[in-house]
Chains A and B, each alone.
Chain A
């Protein structure tokens, strides 16, 4: 079956050029980069590895020495938050939001068990931090605020400039989880008050299993894994040279026309089509200022997993925020934080696009959505209630 893949917010299809590059490296540059002082092959590996680091550093205006490769955004978030808190000599209060990604929320929970003071801020109904609430919770012990550049489920872009300005005023370190929104929203560390940035390859058509953490000069971080002294003694373990090079290549291949403007058109088209065809829908988050490749919609009175499964039977791949889909049997905590409405969370579907999707795929998706919702609505006991 030819699939229509609309789960690009979870992971994107790697570029052909990225795959080719990775295969070449696996075949030819298998020597360890840390063996650079022992043999030429190690030195050659080191060269391509550092070149990749350089590309990633440049993409946010940073220097190579401020980029640490990790296994992905989960590890970057862990290293940023736990690493920063544990290295800090003074202050024990950290702030994040109720809609942050689980790796941030669970890192905070771990720190809480270690004795740190954690504030999880409620957000407004679009998913953004309320600046006045942030001001209220900051105290003399606050050391870090961590938030997402764009929300991982509804795509709302944070008003990050106003948040970092508050942090700057109080001299608090900032961690931005940019695993959603990286490259689409240009960030330059030279003009933005930020100490730590999480980056990942797998949402920009790079490989899965590689990410990076930007660490501002003179920011203390305590390493999490014991082993060798790799990655400036911040991340032990063999470097994954093929994946790092693949990451670098994906950054080079980013194209605003195809990766932002094209997906924005598809998103607009789907919104229009769904509104035309289906009566009871809501767009979740802030439709006006959100990621161009992500659309989170609730089909009211029908349940998301059934919708997603019907889509799958038609070869259309989407995900849902319903409880059945989650591994905890609880509905999406992001949508619950935004709306406190179970039905809205259970009926939510995320459509996310990439340069590889076409207009025709979107038109088909909207047609299929109409058929599915009609079918499920017929057997729904909720139909008379709203």
Chain B
């Protein structure tokens, strides 16, 4: 399979603090990779390094055959990063924000598919309200829509289910599982929801102490789902050494 994302020796540090140290990761088209690990392991930083919004100290990020450092525009055409709710512009309405992102992606208008997902997530009725008046859940939904706008082949999602009501969470989960099942979209999901990782991911990667400590492939995950004595929670606890 062709790698849609390939990181080689990726290193990120904030001042003297090393956050990622030599991360090698490959994601093929149609893969759903869940990134798990304790708080401060560097999951969010890895997503931002792949999205080009965190400065790299070393290593390479290659997206759809384009080096992120040398050809950032071509590389970023292939990614969609769900926006962190606090970063959303309070002075714009949800619809204006979507139009801004559509423009940045070179689209003439907000795509119909984005509005359809907005309808599924019950966000359409509030799209013309200012973001300042949105609840956490509404902001989370808008952040998700902004990441998915233009249907980029690689989705980068950081705890996207935080603040979502159960109905919306289920609808969004079904949506990304369907996208991955079609085979054109890959997902890199940073999450603490081991249930989501175990049941829907095709690979789980444990990030710890700035390194990839362990990963579980589709067969191992299938075995965990089949045998009641096995679980990702237990496997992760073993890998973490506790």
Is B truly associated with A?
no
A contacts, CB < 8 Å to B: none
